[in-house]
Structure 1
Amino acid sequence: MKNKVIVLGCSSGGLAVIRALGKRGLHVIALSHDPHDIGLSSKYVGEVAICPHPRNLDAFLEFMLEKAPLWSDLLIIETGDYYAEALSKLKPELSKHYRFVTQSWDVLSLFLEKENTYKLAVECGVPCPKTYYPESLEHLKTMQKEISFPCIIKPTQSHAFVARFKTKLFVVHTFDQLLKQYSRCLEAELPVILQEIVPGDDTTYERVHIYLNSKGKPGVEVYHKTLRLSPPRYGVMRVGATVEPLPEARELAYRLLEHAGYHTGVACFQFKRNERTGELILIEVNGRIPRSVQIDMGAEVDVPWIIYQDIVKDVQLPLEPYQETTWIELWPDILNKLVKDEKKFSDIREFIAPYLSSNKTFAIFSWSDLKPFLKQMSLLPKIAKRKMKVKSPSETTPLTEQPNKISRHELA
């Protein structure tokens, strides 16, 4: 019998993990609350299981405990915020039956709940955007003279906000717009914070993916720069490239980890270089496998295998140099260009440059495992139609009022 591992969440990040472990000969149990997740169709999936949505903690716990006799002592690698939150909050119960590197809630909440992240950053001297924490509409009105526009309305928990509004944040240009959008968030019972906008285009973002192994040492450390986001400036990375280690980003990332008491787990940091001052500013931290983890594999850093060897085999693989690679989320990048980009083809050379890279890797597309890509293609007409209807965050209108099953494949 092959050694088994559970991949929890099977969209783009989960697919990368499934492929990596499947290629190593492991029996991958693909576990998701969404039967339409594209990763479930990968040829590297050994078996599929559908669980309750992890936001329903009681139902999710009951499911995992029912499976415990069959899956006892297996490693779980989670690839989404809802799953990370559930494993973290249920760690006292689930750690008796499973292995996973998710932090306990007192630590993970420092990064999953954004207001905690920025308060931590201030405490340990890591530069971050000027942030406001309104507690009510009345409280917000007292801040009118303090706030500069345009500014950002950012959720304290991104995954819940994206599930409702289909965008990562709102950009508002006047106090009236701020009141309107803040009221929407209150109605949706989604806590938010307000932030100044850090000047800079898509290429001013600096990122680092870190895995601290069971001995407290770095097992993974890969640095990237963003080439394109969608929507531009505030959105999800669609194209990025590995770069040489970034000393300043490294120092700030490890300072945050130390102050948070982070140990044995994945942490992914995003900073932005203020194009006016040159200061490196913390944007966000994810305490789980990121959606862009395939960029690490493309750079020949097999993150899931490193975790598996550490947690299951007690073998700590050495930190190795990584290769230069470009990561592309193919269809979202192309659709954004065709549907949303006002330049269209005026900058075509700049647009296609990443596709001409000698060493590139795709988030979904793979000649050796085509089914997930074909499944994604089948969703394109609906995605394109929705993109043509919606506005960008800078236009202050949420992308939709109701959850859309298509969007999770695009944003996850």
Structure 2
Amino acid sequence: MHITPVVFLGANYYTGLSGIRTLGRRGIGVIALDYDFSTAYGLVSRYVQRRLLCPNVNTQEHELVDFLIKLACDLGTKPVLIPSHDAYALMISRHSEILSQHYLFHHTAQGLLEQIVDKKSLYVLACEHNMRMPLTLFPADSEEDEAAAAEMTYPCLVKPSISHLFVKVFRRKLFIANNRKELHEALRLSREANLDVMVQQLIPGFDDRMFVLDVFIDQAGQATHTMTAQKLRQFPANFGSSTLTHQYPVPELLEPGVSFLQRIGYRGYCEIEFKRHQESEEFYMIEINARLSTLNSLFDACGIEYPYIMYRDLTGDPLPPVNLDKHLNYAFYHFYEDIFSVRQYLRTKQLTWKQVVKPFFAHRKVYAVWSLDDPLPSLFFFKLIFAKAWRKITSPFKPKGPQKA
């Protein structure tokens, strides 16, 4: 029997690694692509059938499209195409017309993915469809800066429209402004870097008031697989990626989240992040991830294998619907990053040692990188970590270059 292969875009992060494992464990041939083998620890997974060096999605988008077309022609079949990062998802969206002739992937309305990934246009979209989000302002000049500073409560957030561009410049996801002066400074720095940013209300509450709704919407527009989870810790603390998250039923998120995605015409898998206001108890949508989640290993443990669900839908053999509405007591754990998040929580007195330790005895854990049946990526990952640490330790002792006269 012919098994349709998968071309997997991006293997330098545990998002891609976990997706590769999901499909490989199902006996599906995975062809993994990355533009930098030196850091792509997902490529050494036992579940990768072929490893290919591809053009850089950030600087060689058209060359990457040509590369993918040639790959599909060489395979002599129409593979499933799965992105593990926003940059790959956006590339597929922009070139969907030509790529759909060679690959199977879920189509959304033209330009919808760009709207979702861009936080500014997502806010506009949410307002149009009555989806609650934190108050967000878009000052474009000094006069509008003053108006925004007067209207906002503090602390507030200065967030980028496109996250990965902001992170590349500032090595952080956002700025926190505790007063008007800090807000003006954050806006100035962002404009100097030619980055489009917004000013957003900060929803009060600790990180355990962050929740995710993960949904798969089939090609007919039906939400066939849903589950929710609650974040417990993040790195960086308060505004980062999850380091400890457990599966937890939150039925109040299903109707607003699913109906919003259906109204805007979304197809395929996505994750909506919410925060519950500590006073009003209302849920606010924070962002949408239109590619595989960093929590994929948690979903696998709970029996909701989203990459496989996508695969079966695209190959014309969909799985029976599942809404996970019971607590299975699994938790996602990123051992390495959680060390740093715990340090931040303790230093800022947001958690005590007792609160840090308690979750370790409360859940069955699945890990971001480590897997007993696939240990090599973990060894590669820690090799990268040790190499980075060694460079940091030895850099003060390395001879400097010649001084300019």
TM-score (norm 2): 0.88
2:302 to 299, 312, 334: 299
**Correspondence 1:376 to 2:376:** no
Letter in 2 for 1:380: I
| Structure 2 unaligned residues grouped into runs of 5+ | 394-405
| Aligned-pair CA distance for 1:141 | 3.5
- 2:220 & 2:147 partners in 1: Cα distance? 49
Task: Output the CA distance in 1 between the equivalents of 2:264 and 2:33.
Answer: 29
Q: For residues 102 and 325 of structure 1, what CA distance do their matches in structure 2 show?
A: 32
Q: Answer yes or no: is the 8 Å Cα contact 2:149–2:183 preserved in 1.
A: no
The aligned residue for residue 31 of structure 1 is 33
Aligned to 2:262: 258
Q: What is the aligned partner in structure 1 of residue 6 from structure 2?
A: 5
Residue deviations 1:323-376 (CA, integer Å, cap 9, x gap): 331111111002333477416998333223333345221111111111111122
Asked whether the equivalents of residues 13 and 290 of structure 1 are also in contact (C-alpha less than 8 Å), the reply is yes
Instruction: In structure 1, give the amino acid aligned to 2:383.
Output: S
Contact 1:6 1:76 in 2 (8 A): yes
Change (3 A) 1:2 1:339: same
CA–CA distance in structure 1, aligned partners of residues 49 and 299 of structure 2 = 23
With structure 1 as the length reference, what TM-score do the two structures score? Answer: 0.87
| Residue 291 (structure 2) aligned to one of 288, 291, 301 | 288
Equivalent residue for 1:129?
A: 134
Higher RCO (Cα < 8 Å, 6 or more apart): 1
Q: Kindly indicate whether residue 170 of structure 2 is the aligned counterpart of residue 168 of structure 1.
A: no
**1:13-412 alignment to 2 at 5 Å?**
13-35=15-37, 36-55=39-58, 56-71=60-75, 72-101=77-106, 103-244=108-249, 246-263=250-267, 265-319=268-322, 321=324, 323-338=328-343, 341-342=346-347, 347-381=352-386
For residues 198 and 153 of structure 2, the distance between their equivalents in structure 1, rounded to whole angstroms, comes to 14
**Offset at residue 13 of structure 1 (A):** 1.0
Counterpart code for 2:339: I
User: Post-superposition shift, 1:241?
Assistant: 0.5
Task: Flag the 1:376–1:102 CA change in 2: closer, same or farther, 3 A.
Answer: farther
**Residue 150 of structure 2 aligns to a residue in which SS?**
coil
- Deviation readout 1:210-262 (Å, 9 max, x if unpaired): 01122322232111001111222222111101112x23211221232133111
List per-residue Cα deviations over 1:300-338 (Å, max 9, x = no partner). 211111111111143343326473311111110023334
Provide, for residues 21-70 of structure 1, a one-character-per-residue CA deviation record: whole Å limited to 9, x for no partner.
11111111111223212211111111111222223322222222232312
**RMSD (Å), alpha carbons:** 2.5
SS at match of 2:149: coil
Structure 1 residues 26 and 271: CA distance shift in structure 2, 3 A: same
Aligned AA (2:248)? V
* Distance in structure 2 (CA, Å) of the matches to 1:97 and 1:346: 51
Measure how far apart 1:294 and its partner are: 1.4
Inter-partner Cα distance in structure 2 for 1:340 and 1:29: 40
Q: Which whole-Å CA distance do the structure 2 matches of 1:212 and 1:296 have between them?
A: 16
Query: Relative to 1, partners in 2 of residues 1:285 and 1:339: Cα closer, same or farther, differing over 3 Å?
Result: closer
CA pair 387-260 structure 1, distance change in 2 beyond 3 A: farther
Instruction: Report the Cα distance in structure 1 between the residues aligned to 2:260 and 2:162, rounded to whole angstroms.
Output: 19
